[in-house]
Amino acid sequence: HGRVDILHNNAGIGHAGPIEDTPLEDWRKILEVNVFGVVHGLHAFVPRMIEQGGDAHIVNTASMAGLVASAGMAPYVTSKFAVVGTSLTLDAELKRHGIRVTALCPGVIDTAIVKESTMRGAIEAKHEKLTGFYKKRGASPDVVARDAVTAILKKQVIKPSPWWQVSPAWWIMRISPRAYTALARRTYKSIIG
């Protein structure tokens, strides 16, 4: 009923599994929540934010998986690359209205996303182990919240969070996609055994 100064699109569910073990229903579910959750938020609020005028900011939660591909996570990676691409596009489009857009890209964060994720194939047997890894090694959600505020204040279009987890892989991927793909392949092999 008043101004919308900050819109935070934070819908997201996880998925992991080999492509051959991933049914179309999984693809639809991931894209509906992770992509269309953001689309619905934008559709509902952007016209209002344009009409109100003045400074405003949209933060779309993507993922490290929206910056660098991870084997065994095709639907999730696809959805998060879409969120990053949408954010980049809208920052360019909406800046003239005083609206800036950030793709917030968290890495390994201690939340329930892995515990509640759909797992398929060989990765399904590792579900408990992966959940424990996120619990033990994941950064606090407070770090991501702080980084989101920083991104808004500095008008950052892409915000890796925490930078020390996400940025090294992102840099490797940008400098040498072949080297990054080899690293992703080794990591995937170590997970599925």
pLDDT at 1: 64
How many degrees, rounded to 5, is the angle at CA 178 between CA 160 and CA 35? 45
pLDDT at 188: 82
Q: What's residue 130's pLDDT?
A: 85
| Residue pLDDT, tens place only, 16-55 | 999 999 999 999 999 999 999 999 999 999 999 999 998 9
Catalytic residues: 76
The share of the chain scoring above pLDDT 70, in percent, equals 99
Tell if the pTM clears 0.95, that is, is over it.
no
Q: Who wins on pLDDT, 132 or 10?
A: 10
Mean of pLDDT values over 160-165? 94
